[in-house]
């Protein structure tokens, strides 16, 4: 018999914001890079998004570019340590719905897998915290001295996530037609196409527009919005984006 799996994005889907931002703040706190990196490069994009004058996808991509530059030449030991600290301190800051769904899938005996654009080290620690079966994250490559080289193998785009789902399908003998996917941005669209039961969690406008334009996804997707202590299940055909 084939297995059923649940594929979870992390940033904005499980975790309520972007984990990479928390890592960046810790890098500055431990004086591995100058705090000017935050004030000059990251903070303007963050404030635009925070004030809803800029979109979430743009902010995260900007964050990735700066993160690559910031960790270049830093020893892997430091980032491993920081990733553990971030999850210890921030790992419970998740959406109630997503946390309960992870538990539900585990109770059903489903294979629970994280596929996230966050750095590999963060995804590894988050997967451990929630007892997931496997994971994939963005790989920031190392040089011969175990320091970050500036090369990146991304996991935030839909092509990379599709490739990962197909690899997990073979590894765990998964029936994708009976499996689940949870995501919040346009990079998750290939996960939605691949499985029988997709969930859009607090989706971005760009993701909703793509879902509405794709008849196959539109007919099967469930849209979940969590605000304060209320979780809303919405009919995508009745959502009007402005």
pLDDT digits (tens, 9 = 90+) for 111-164: 999 999 999 999 999 999 999 999 999 999 999 999 999 999 988 889 999 999
Residue 135, pLDDT score: 97
- Host domain of residue 83: 5-238
Task: Quote the Cα angle for 12-16-20, to 5°.
Answer: 70
Q: Tell me: pLDDT of 56 over 70.
A: no
Q: Determine the 3-state secondary structure of 224 from DSSP.
A: strand
The string of DSSP letters for 117-145 reads EEEHHHHHHHHHHTT-SEEEEEEEEE-TT
- Give the number of domains in the chain: 1
Q: Determine the 3-state secondary structure of 199 from DSSP.
A: strand
User: How many of the other CB atoms lie within 10 Å of CB of 52?
Assistant: 8
CA neighbor of 28 nearest in space, from 76, 91, 82: 82
φ/ψ of residue 139, rounded to 5: -100, 120
Q: Determine the 3-state secondary structure of 203 from DSSP.
A: coil
Q: Tell me: pLDDT of 97 over 70.
A: yes
What count of residues does the chain have?
242
Average pLDDT of every residue of the chain: 90
pTM of the model: 0.91
- Rounded Cα–Cα distance for residues 191 and 155 (Å): 12
Residues 6 or more apart whose CB falls under 8 angstroms from that of 213 comprise: none
More confident residue, 165 or 45: 165
CATH number of the domain residue 150 falls in? 3.40.50.1000
- Rounded Cα–Cα distance for residues 131 and 91 (Å): 13
Q: What is the mean pLDDT of residues 46-60?
A: 67
Q: Quick one: tokens of 78?
A: 């430091």
Q: Quick one: tokens of 2?
A: 């084939």
Strands (E), the chain: 5-8, 111-119, 134-142, 148-153, 180-183, 197-201, 222-227, 230-234
């Amino acid at each position: 018999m084939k297995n059923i799996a649940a594929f979870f994005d992390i940033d904005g889907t499980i975790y309520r914001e972007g984990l990479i931002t928390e890592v960046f703040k810790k890098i500055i706190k431990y004086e591995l890079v100058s705090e000017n990196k935050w004030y000059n490069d990251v903070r303007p994009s963050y404030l635009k998004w925070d004030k809803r004058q800029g979109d979430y996808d743009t902010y995260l991509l900007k964050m990735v570019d700066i993160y690559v530059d910031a960790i270049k030449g830093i020893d892997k030991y430091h980032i491993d340590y920081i990733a553990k600290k971030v999850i210890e301190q921030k790992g419970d800051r998740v959406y109630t719905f997503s946390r309960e769904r992870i538990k539900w899938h585990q109770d059903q005996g489903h294979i629970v897998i994280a596929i996230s654009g966050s750095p590999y080290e963060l995804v590894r620690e988050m997967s451990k915290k929630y007892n997931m079966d496997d994971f994939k994250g963005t790989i920031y490559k190392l040089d011969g001295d175990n320091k970050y080289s500036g090369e990146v193998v991304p996991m935030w785009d839909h092509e990379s996530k599709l490739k990962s789902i197909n690899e997990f399908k073979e590894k765990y003998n998964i029936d994708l037609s009976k499996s689940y996917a949870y995501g919040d941005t346009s990079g998750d669209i290939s996960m939605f196409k691949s499985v029988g039961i997709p969930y859009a969690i607090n989706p971005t406008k760009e993701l909703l527009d793509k879902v509405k334009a794709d008849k196959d996804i539109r007919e099967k997707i469930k849209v979940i919005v969590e605000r304060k202590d209320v979780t809303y299940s919405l009919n995508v055909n009745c959502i009007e984006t402005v």
